[in-house]
Structure 1
Amino acid sequence: MSTKISNWPAATPLWVDLGVDDLNAAQAFYSDLFGWKFVSGGQGSGDYLLAHVGGRAVAGLGPKQDPGMPTVWTTFLASDDVDVTAKKISAAGGELLAPPFDVMESGRLALATDSVGATFGVWQAGTHIGAERVNEHGALCWNELHTRHYASARAFYAEVFDVSYQDTTEEGLVYSTIRRPLDGREVGGIHHDTDLSEHTPGHWMTWFASDYVNGTATRALELGATHLRPVAESPMGRMALVQAPQGEIFGIIDAPRANE
């Protein structure tokens, strides 16, 4: 378990949020699955909700801004200056979906796609630092980019966020952990995912920690989810891949990964 009360260092995946068609149904699903409690995102935030574990924010949930948007968990990376990062995104071959704008006093935000087509957010903290608890049941524990265009993805994030990489040499797996520039700490990953079709854009995957992956995976099924990958052992711990009733995909894993 880790509690965070100060700003996350640049390049750290610090927040995830989800836009859904049926907000009440999503609240019911995640409150049952992870024990999340929901509070308003604050005056002027509309129906945006902050999911809490132990009284601290772990994720965001709200109605879709556009009904045609896919239902996905979006990963946000920390920035000390979103405006500077936005310029780097464009220069490195990415595309800004939403140029930098202020979110009340909470912070400053941009949305973008990277050079391999994966959507992500950039967050410059104001009063909202992002996730305040990580690496415990129901909280964020890891974020990784899945892409067939592995070298291009690595080049993009190195150029935009000044990250470095540690390669994984496990047989049959081409994977790099992302090291943030401040201290070289591993805060995320890039996976050369050959299961994706050549024309499928990359995507960021969100992983939540679970005290009991078997039980959480079973409960997800009972709540109407499906298993894209059943519970299995891995070098990182027991894990499963779940698709929730409204279509969003996320992972559950019982081995916390350092992310602070």
Structure 2
Amino acid sequence: MRVNQYIQGLPCWVELASHDALAGKQFYAELFGWRTQDMPIPDGIYTMFGLTPDSASDGEGQDDIGAAYQMPKEMSDQGVPTTWLVYFAVDSVDETVEKVKAEGGSLSMGPCDVGTAGRMAMFSDPEGARFAVWQAGEHIGARRQGEHGTLCWVELATRDPASAKMFYPNVLHWTSHAGDMPEFEYTEWLVGDKPMGGMLQMNEEWGEVPPHWMLYFAVDNCDEAAAKAKQLGGEICVPPTDIAKVGRFAVINDPQGGFFSIITLNLQQSASHLA
């Protein structure tokens, strides 16, 4: 469905920093059926991902859902992995910068204007999980959701959920409540009364994996999409697995090592989470 605006705190954009952006965009285009559009930027190429324009599209960029770019060599040389980054909509980037600093997070880039498209900044939370914020100008962010290949959920993996429950509500105005996961403790993040993300606690089984945000993309059939990802050179980290009352998901590493999840939501969850 079409999206015309995002309110404070909602995930609004996703961005892939890849060790091989050319191979990466080919992988995702084939996996999700995304179209790609390369745009020149001072440091190289910024590739816009989008869905096939629908009947409601009224111009260029009206079906954008995310983007990718080549990770700078100095970052890859430092061992930074191919990474997906989520952007959250904010009313004021500059006010959010001050809130992040006050709550113990750190600013890693910005704040800066992106032409007339909007204003952005990137951060790490107190545990090091990276995220970004976007103050819309002419570009609100992703223009489609609730369809195959679109972002449908974001999930924080953290070793200190109590700290996160203070940091993110104070920075992004979220609320939280306990999720319906009988096997383990799970927190849902809400914007208003809308669940849009979650949080789980990392235990010793996670080893040295750093705290991070996991992105979930909706797919029509989880098993078929996972098999296709493997065929395209991806690695299946968690095979297709049912989540009671939610749907069926899998965790995948793309050929460059970028991790993400896919999920086929049941009809009830699709309606409640994406409406």
Partner of 2:221: 212
Is residue 44–residue 70 contact of structure 2 (8 Å, CA) maintained in 1? no
Gaps of 5+ in 2: 54-62
Alpha carbons of structure 1 residues 121 and 159: separation in structure 2 relative to 1, 3 Å: same
Aligned residues: 255
Aligned residue for 1:130? 141
2:58 matched residue in structure 1: none
Alpha-carbon distance in structure 1 between the residues aligned to 2:21 and 2:232? 15
* 1:111–1:119 CA contact under 8 A, matched in 2: yes
Aligned twin of 1:254 = 264
Q: Is the 8 A contact 1:12 1:187 kept in 2?
A: yes
More helix by share: 2
Q: 1:4 to 1:44 in 2, by over 3 A?
A: farther
Which amino acid is the alignment partner of residue 247 of structure 1? Answer: G
Q: Distance between the aligned counterparts of 1:254 and 1:108, measured in 2?
A: 33
Identity, in percent, stands at 34
Residue in structure 1 matched with residue 68 of structure 2 by the alignment: 61
The reply on whether 1:225 has 2:234 as its aligned counterpart is: yes
Instruction: Tell me the CA shift for residue 187 of structure 1.
Output: 1.4
User: Residue in 2 aligned with 1:49?
Assistant: 47
CA RMSD, Structure 1 to Structure 2 (Å): 1.7
Match of 2:104 in 1: 93
Matches for 1:181-220 after TM superposition, within 5 Å: 183-194=192-203, 195-197=205-207, 200-220=209-229
Q: Deviations over 1:145-195 (max 9, x none)?
A: 111111111110011112111212522321111111xx3211111112324
Q: What CA deviation, in whole Å up to 9, does each residue of 1:63-91 have, x standing for no partner?
A: 11333332110011110100000100000
Aligned AA for 1:129?
Answer: I
- The secondary structure found in structure 1 opposite 2:97 is helix
Normalised by the length of structure 2, the TM-score is 0.88
Match of 1:22 in 2: 20
Quote the Cα distance in structure 2 between the aligned partners of 1:62 and 1:200: 24
Instruction: List gaps (5 residues or longer) in structure 1.
Output: none
TM-score under structure 1 length normalisation: 0.92
